[in-house]
Structure 1
Amino acid sequence: MILCTVRYPIRTESDSLCQKQGSAGQGQPSLPFFYVQEFARLGTISAALLSLRKNMAENRRGKSGKKAPPLRADMGIVVLHGKEQYLLRQRLVQLRELMEKEYGGVEVFTFDGSSASMPEVLDECRSFALMTPAKLVVVDNAEELVKEDRRPAMERYAENPTERTLLVLRSEKWRKGRLDKIIEKSGGAVIKCDAPKPAEAVAFAMARCRKRYDAELEQDAALLLVERTGVNLSRIDSEVAKLSLAAGPGGTITRSLVNEMIGLSREERAWEIQKDLLSGDAEKGLLKLQELLHVSRQPEVLLGYAMTDLARKLTLLAAAQQQGENTRALARDLKLFWESATMVPAAARRLGLPRCEDLFSKAVEVDARSKSGFGRHSRSLERLIIEFCA
C-alpha cells in the first residue's frame, strides 16, 4: 500500500515577514496525509497554538471553576461526568454510604441510558422504596438518556425531585445546559470527574498508600510511579496495592522498589529514544536505536513515530517561543512532564523554528518512505538521528 503525500503549507509569522519583504519562501513541504491531519484541520502552526491555548483554558475553567458542593444524602440529583473511571466509582460509593448513614438503608436500581426510556427511569424515581427507607437510582451513559426532546422531562423532574430518592446520572460526556442550572438550584450538583494533574496524582498515591494499604510511599517513589503509570487513578491504585504487599505492613515503598516492580511497558520503551535525541550526541542516539531494535525488539514504525512526535512538539514550542507564548502552559498541554518539561522547550529554543520545522518535515518524509517501500527503514531512522543531533 502506497501512502499518499500532499503539498501542505505550514506557515508561521516568519514566512509572512519574508513575503512582505519580497524574499523567496522555503516552499511548501511535502507531508504524508496521516501526519498533517492536525495541521490540515487547523491550517497553520499559529492556529494550532491558538487551539491548544483554547483547550488549556477550557480545562482550567473546568477544574478551577465553581467548586462542587459537599456530597449529601438529600441532593435529589447528582451528575457525575468525566473520563476518570476511578472517580466516577468513588463518588457513587460515597453517595451510597451517605444515604445508608442518613436513612439506615438504601435500595439501588441501575439503568443503562442508551437503552432505558425516560418514563421507565422517572417512574422508578417517583415510586417509593418497598424494602428500605431510601432509594438510589443510577443511570450509566446518562448523556444518551437526556438527549434533545427527552431533556425537558428530566428538567421538570429536577425542579422537584422525590424525597429520599437520589438520582445519579453518570456519563463520560455531558453537555452543559439549562438542566445543570435547575439541578444546582434544587440542591443537587454537577461534578466533573476528569483525570488529575500529575502533582495531584502523586498526592493521591501517597495518601491512598497510607490510608488504605498501611504503607508509606516516599515522594520520590510516588513521582516515579506516576511517571511510569500516568495519571490513571485506577492503575495507580492497583500498582500501589502491589507495592504495599511487597513492602509489607507498615513498610516503606522506595524509589528502587518502584523501579524494580513497575518497569516500562514494551510500547513505552520506544519513547526512550527521545531523551537521547535531545542530548545532541549522535553516537549515543545511534547506540540507543540499535539497543531498542535488536535487544528490546521495538518495531521500527513505533520508533519512527516517537521521533516524529518529538519533532512536532519541538516545532510547536519553537513557534510559541518566537511569538512570545507561555511555553510552560503549552508544555503541559503537550503532555511534557518531569525532565521532558524542561528538556524539550530548551531544545526548541536552542534549535530555533526553521530548524525544528526542517526536522519535522524530514521525520514525516522518513515515515512516508517507509510506508511506500523506499529503502530500509532502519537506515532512514539512523539518518534522522544524525539530523537531530547535527
Structure 2
Amino acid sequence: MAEIGTRKGQGNRSPLPVTVCYGAETYLLQRWVAALIERNVDEEHRELAVTKYDLAETPLDVVLDDAETLPFFVPRKVIVASRATFFTAAKESGKIEHRLDRLQEYAKAPAEHTIIVFTVEAEKLDERKKLVKTFKELGAVQAFAALSAEELNRWAVRQAEELGFSFGPGAAELLVLYTGGQLQPMASEMDKLSLFAGRGGTVTKATVDELVARSTEQNVFLLIEEIVQRRIEKAFAILYELLKQREEPIKIAVLMARQFRLIWQVKDLERQGYSQQQIAGHLGSHPFPIKLASEQGRKYDNERLQRIMTLLAELDFNIKSGRIEKVLGLEMFILHIAA
C-alpha cells in the first residue's frame, strides 16, 4: 500500500488533493483516513479543519463548494465524503443529484488548501466510467481488499508487536478463527489481550480461548469444525454452551445449514476451476470463511453434503412441526453426521 495520503515527488512528498478509497475491508480504510487526517491537520485545528459529508444525503456541489472555500483560521482543511457510490456500478437512488462533470474538472485542478477523500464500501469501482478513469490516471485511488487468511495472521502478529506482546504457537490463528477474520473485532480483542499479557508478555491459545468473545455464528462455525474433525465431545460442549446462553435450537440449526450450504457451494465452484478469491467475490463473502469452508469440504463428497443438507431440512421441519424435541433433534443430527 502507498504511504498514507501522500504523492511521491522528486525528493519530497505532498498530500494528494483528492482521493477515492474503496474496498471490503472498511477497518483498514477508516484507519487510512484517520492517519491522513493526523498527518495533515494539527490536533488543535481538527474541529475547524475536518468536515464530513454523507453523499447519500448531500449533493456533490456542497462538497466542492466547501473545498473551494478558503479555510478559516487553519492552513489546510480535510473533507471526507462517504458513500460515494457514483464511482461504482451501483444504481443511484435518484434522491440526490450529483454533478459528476464538475468533480471531473475539479480533480484536474483541485484547490491547494483542501484535501478531499471520497470513500465507498464496494469491492470494485466501475472502470468504464470517465470519472474513475480520471482518478486512476491521477493516481488518486486507494483499494482496501479483504485480507486472506495468511495476511490476517501476519496482520495480527504485527499488531501484537505494536502493542508490546507476542503470540504463542497457534494463538494468532485461533484469534483469526474466533473473530471470523474481521479486523474490527480482531483489533478490539487484541487491545484486551494486550492488557492481559502486559508489556513483553505472550498470549497463548488457552488465553485466546478464555478471553476472546465469540458470536453465535462463530460458535456454530466452530461446532461444525468439531463435527467435521469428528471431535464429538468438543462439538457437544459447544452445543451445550450455546444452549446455556439461551440460543434457540432452531437458530442453531439454521446457522448449521448455512455453513454446510457454503461448504457445498465452495466445493462446487472449486470443481469448476474458480480460485478462493474468485469464489469470495462470486458469493459476496470474506475470503477467510471461504478458505475454511474449502478445507472442511475436503472431508465430504458432494453426495454426502447433499444428504447432510437434506437431514437439516428434515430437522427444521420436524422441530417446527413438533415431531421431535428441539435439543434431542440437534443431538441426533450431530451424532448422525459424525458417524
TM interval, shorter chain, is: 0.7 to 0.9
State the alpha-carbon separation in 1 of the partners of residues 118 and 334 from structure 2: 51
1:114 touches 1:145 (CA, 8 Å); kept in 2? no
Aligned residue number for residue 346 of structure 1 = 298
Matches within 5 A, 1:230-309: 230-279=180-229, 284=233, 287-288=236-237, 291-292=240-241, 295=244, 297-309=246-258
1:225 touches 1:262 (CA, 8 Å); kept in 2? yes
User: Could you list the runs of 5+ residues in structure 1 that have no partner in the other structure?
Assistant: 1-66
Answer yes or no: is 1:356 the counterpart of 2:305: yes
2:168 touches 2:205 (CA, 8 Å); kept in 1? yes
2:49 touches 2:77 (CA, 8 Å); kept in 1? yes
Answer yes or no: is 1:142 the counterpart of 2:92: no
1:69 touches 1:189 (CA, 8 Å); kept in 2? no
Aligned residue number for residue 215 of structure 1 = 165
1:107 touches 1:129 (CA, 8 Å); kept in 2? yes
Answer yes or no: is 1:87 the counterpart of 2:21: no
SS in structure 1 at match of 2:214: coil
Answer yes or no: is 1:179 the counterpart of 2:131: yes
Of 137, 150, 166, the match for 1:199: 150
Question: CA offsets, 1:288-324, max 9 Å, x none?
Answer: 5873576554421133124323442453455457x56
Question: CA offsets, 1:71-90, max 9 Å, x none?
Answer: 31442210112343322222
What is the Cα deviation at residue 204 of structure 1? Answer: 1.8
1:273 touches 1:306 (CA, 8 Å); kept in 2? no
State the alpha-carbon separation in 2 of the partners of residues 238 and 285 from structure 1: 27
What is the aligned-residue RMSD (CA, Å)?
A: 3.6
Structure 1 residues 285 and 258, CA gap change in structure 2 (3 angstroms):
closer
1:315 touches 1:360 (CA, 8 Å); kept in 2? no
Question: CA offsets, 1:97-126, max 9 Å, x none?
Answer: 44349xx99922222212222222111112
1:133 touches 1:164 (CA, 8 Å); kept in 2? yes
State the alpha-carbon separation in 2 of the partners of residues 288 and 221 from structure 1: 21
1:71 touches 1:95 (CA, 8 Å); kept in 2? yes
Aligned residue number for residue 127 of structure 1 = 69
Amino acid at match of 2:40: M
State the alpha-carbon separation in 1 of the partners of residues 287 and 260 from structure 2: 16
Identity %: 24
SS in structure 1 at match of 2:16: coil
State the alpha-carbon separation in 1 of the partners of residues 30 and 333 from structure 2: 46
Aligned residue number for residue 5 of structure 2 = 71
1:243 touches 1:253 (CA, 8 Å); kept in 2? yes
Amino acid at match of 1:71: G
Amino acid at match of 1:377: K
What is the Cα deviation at residue 372 of structure 1? Answer: 4.0
What is the Cα deviation at residue 168 of structure 1? Answer: 0.7
How many pairs were matched up?
313
Q: Name which one, 1 or 2, has greater alpha-carbon Rg.
A: 1
TM-score normalized with structure 1 length: 0.67
SS in structure 1 at match of 2:298: helix
SS in structure 1 at match of 2:334: helix
TM-score normalized with structure 2 length: 0.76
Of 129, 137, 141, the match for 1:190: 141
Question: CA offsets, 1:127-160, max 9 Å, x none?
Answer: 2223222221221222279957522221121122
1:126 touches 1:162 (CA, 8 Å); kept in 2? yes
Amino acid at match of 1:208: Q
State the alpha-carbon separation in 2 of the partners of residues 285 and 166 from structure 1: 54
Structure 1 residues 353 and 108, CA gap change in structure 2 (3 angstroms):
closer
